[in-house]
Amino acid sequence: MLCYRCGSHVPDTSETCPTCGQKYDAARQAAGGPARRRSGSENAPYKPGDIIAGRFTTQEWVGSGPLGHVFRVLDQAHGVEVALKVISPRLLQEPEERTQFALALRVGKKLNHPNLLRVYEEGTDRERPFFTTQLVEGMTLRRMMEGRAAKGQPFTLREVEPLLAQLASAIDAAHRYGPHSDLKPENIIVLPDMLKVTDYGLALGIPRPPFVQAQKGHRVEGYIAPEYVSGGEIDTRMDLYSLAAIVGEMLTGLTPDGDGVPELLAKNPDLPPAFEAIYRRTLNANPLARPKTAGEFSAEVSAIVARSPGAPSRPSRSMPPVRQAEKPPPPVPTEQLPIPAMPPRGGQRPEPPSEATQPMDAEMLAAIMAATPAASSARKADVPEPPVRAGAASAPVASPPAEPRPAPEPRASKPHPAPRPAVAAPPPTASPPGVPPAPSAPPAPRARSKGPVRGKRDTGERRRLLLWLALLTVAGLVTGSAVGYLLLKRLRPAPAPGAVGTPSLPAPGAPRPQAPPPRESPPAVAMAPSGSCPPGMKLVSGGAFKMGTAPDDPDQASDERPLESRQVPSFCVDEFEHPNQAGALPTVNVSWLEAKDACQNAGKRLCTEEEWEKACKGAGNARFPYGNTFDADRCSTDDAAGTDRVLAEAGRFPQCRSSYGVADLSGNVAEWTATPYAGGADMTQKGGAFNRSAFAVRCSARLNGLPSARSGTVGFRCCAGLQP
């Protein structure tokens, strides 16, 4: 084996390193390599419920990597969930090494960029250094690359270009304070609308020999620049080496190794020769030969893409095993955090695996690539519509159940009728008397096959059995029909003037009768199945989040809530505003009472203000669904010149999504919530509208309205709880 401390070769049975004196124990030797990674949380230094540094309560083990373990913890000082990474004590054994590590992390606290993960605190617990970061819910680039490789579909250069632009922006921002030093796919988290780069500066705070050996132990040493490995002088260009290695692996599955820089064109002949040139230049062993900045490298790649033929992205032919296929799979990503599972494409929508986070193919890439509406429309025509871009063919939550036929065909692309209660029983005609239930046929042949020698006695028994089956069948049909009729009569809502069941509304000049008083919905109607959301709804994971407006927000209004921690259980929320169909205009000119009834009739309820704001702020507690800085082109709001837009179809602005995948939460139409405004008669509205600017379309902004008031800029969306 190799010494963790100095990298020297040590006999497997040795208890100490003959070069540096590092001591080993048999348990740690036996738990090395892939077996150690498979053990997962068993080798973690903390268990759920443990208190770290007297402040952080461990909630769950998230993953492990070359440097240590990651946990989801609750910061008791602030009441929020954060990610806590514990560094292996074997990497930092001397007091001066720990001091250097703390200094490197303090530099990381200065970073402030949308694509860089925020570092909060650092400290030591039981001789274990640790630091906390912003808790984001996404998937690592490593996991996405593995999914593409498993299907034999490497990334195309056009797909890589927008990802590279975000990475370059993050790296250049970090280079104001020094190199990142540990750039690799495991440290890049993919969110629905952006990338996040983690672990800034860790390699600068850990001695080089143990850091390099730890990376080799997890087979990720191919991203480390040669000057770092050799102990030479390093600068920000070491990150460009790592960046080129990542891009090359995305395109071909190959990374630099002991045999040198791989030949990309030999693996993927579709790549432009000009890209191979810039790739090899960026991987030059001499840092001075590389591009000066990540932005320069990204710009050259963009220029190559612009000069290339504009062929649409297509799955490539099957790839032979890549060089790294013989190696064990990469470890569980260090920063992999659980997120709401997105249902896979297809009519049956099977349950996603528990480790799934976001779709890893065209759906995820479409959001990251910030495609134009025209490009999005082209993709919709080529593939079945995924949940992230649900169109008119996606059934709303409360659409009527399909006819009870075996093996139903996929749903057709047509508008659905008005929502009905999700618990409504099928009509009595679902089982016509002329079609007896299937179980009545099979018993006869089984009876004949069992007793062929019984003669007349057996014939009489069969006749009596058939008579009883006929009587039971008739009785069952009559009973089922009666029960179904009574259930339908009880649960079907009575038509009321002004009720909102479809997007169509009374003419502006027509008299509006008084809306009916709200009805109590059945307790189970507004609950989704445990652990999943119905089609057309997005899962928002429960937990603590920061509700309200920060005191330093320049757009803060006097009626907004102060920033404070709120605990919200997991829930489901409509992807779009009512009628929750991509391409359909939102329902407007609707009172709060009508909106409440419409949600109840659909088996749901209005969202509370807390739920609405958590769905908008996402996992990163952002000011807007897409980030902390207002962008007039992201959502249906005032444009950059301050000119009002008009009411837009749902999904018209594909980048107007929160990290939970919920669309159009900023602008377009304000949305009624179930929360009273300041404890009075008014109800709270959230989200602003198409004629409002930054101050009114923030996630924490709020308005008020009478429950009977209607407006052409006010609509609603529905929520549902999760069954325990």
Does 639 share its domain with 708? Answer: yes
Give domain status of residue 394, yes or no. Answer: no
Give domain status of residue 699, yes or no. Answer: yes
The pLDDT assigned to 446 comes to 39
Report how far residue 126's alpha carbon sits from residue 52's, in angstroms, rounded to the nearest whole number.
Answer: 9
Strands 605-606, 718-722: pairing kind: antiparallel
Structural contact between residues 246 and 240, judged by C-beta atoms closer than 8 angstroms: no
Does 167 share its domain with 232? Answer: yes
Other beta carbons within 10 Å of 559:
12
Instruction: Report pTM.
Output: 0.43
Other beta carbons within 10 Å of 99:
12
Give domain status of residue 282, yes or no. Answer: yes
The pLDDT assigned to 52 comes to 94
Does 604 share its domain with 701? Answer: yes
Domain containing residue 11:
1-30
Report how far residue 294's alpha carbon sits from residue 179's, in angstroms, rounded to the nearest whole number.
Answer: 11
Structural contact between residues 693 and 543, judged by C-beta atoms closer than 8 angstroms: no
Mean pLDDT in each 10-residue stretch from start to end of the chain (724 residues)? 44 64 46 41 84 93 90 92 92 87 85 88 90 88 90 89 94 90 92 87 88 89 92 90 95 88 90 94 93 94 86 39 36 35 38 35 44 36 36 34 39 37 37 38 38 45 71 75 63 41 41 42 51 87 86 87 88 96 95 96 95 91 92 93 92 93 95 90 94 92 93 96 76
The pLDDT assigned to 13 comes to 66
Q: Which of 548, 594, 533 is nearest to 719 (CA)?
A: 533
Other beta carbons within 10 Å of 37:
20
Last residue within a domain, chosen from 133, 165, 199:
133
The pLDDT assigned to 605 comes to 96
The residue behind tokens 């400290």 is: 123
166, 519, 576, 677 from 705: Cα distances, Å: 41, 21, 22, 8
Give domain status of residue 555, yes or no. Answer: yes
Q: Which of 637, 621, 645 is nearest to 563 (CA)?
A: 621
Does 589 share its domain with 710? Answer: yes
Last residue within a domain, chosen from 276, 302, 326:
326
Does 586 share its domain with 712? Answer: yes
Does 43 share its domain with 124? Answer: yes
Q: Quick one: how far is CA 601 from the chain centroid?
A: 29
Report how far residue 70's alpha carbon sits from residue 68's, in angstroms, rounded to the nearest whole number.
Answer: 7
Does 616 share its domain with 672? Answer: yes
Give domain status of residue 400, yes or no. Answer: no
Does 48 share its domain with 26? Answer: no
Does 246 share its domain with 293? Answer: yes
Last residue within a domain, chosen from 133, 157, 187:
133
Give domain status of residue 345, yes or no. Answer: no
Does 153 share its domain with 122? Answer: no
Number of domains in the chain: 5
The pLDDT assigned to 587 comes to 96
Report how far residue 23's alpha carbon sits from residue 1's, in angstroms, rounded to the nearest whole number.
Answer: 13
The pLDDT assigned to 489 comes to 55
Give domain status of residue 722, yes or no. Answer: yes
Give domain status of residue 339, yes or no. Answer: no
Q: In this structure, what token pair is assigned to residue 67?
A: 């440097």
Does 97 share its domain with 181? Answer: no
Does 217 share its domain with 265? Answer: yes
CATH code of the domain containing 678: 3.90.1580.10
Residue 442 identity: P
**Phi-psi map region of 59: left, alpha, beta (phi>0 left; psi -120 to 50 alpha):** alpha
The residue behind tokens 């090395």 is: 32
The pLDDT assigned to 11 comes to 67
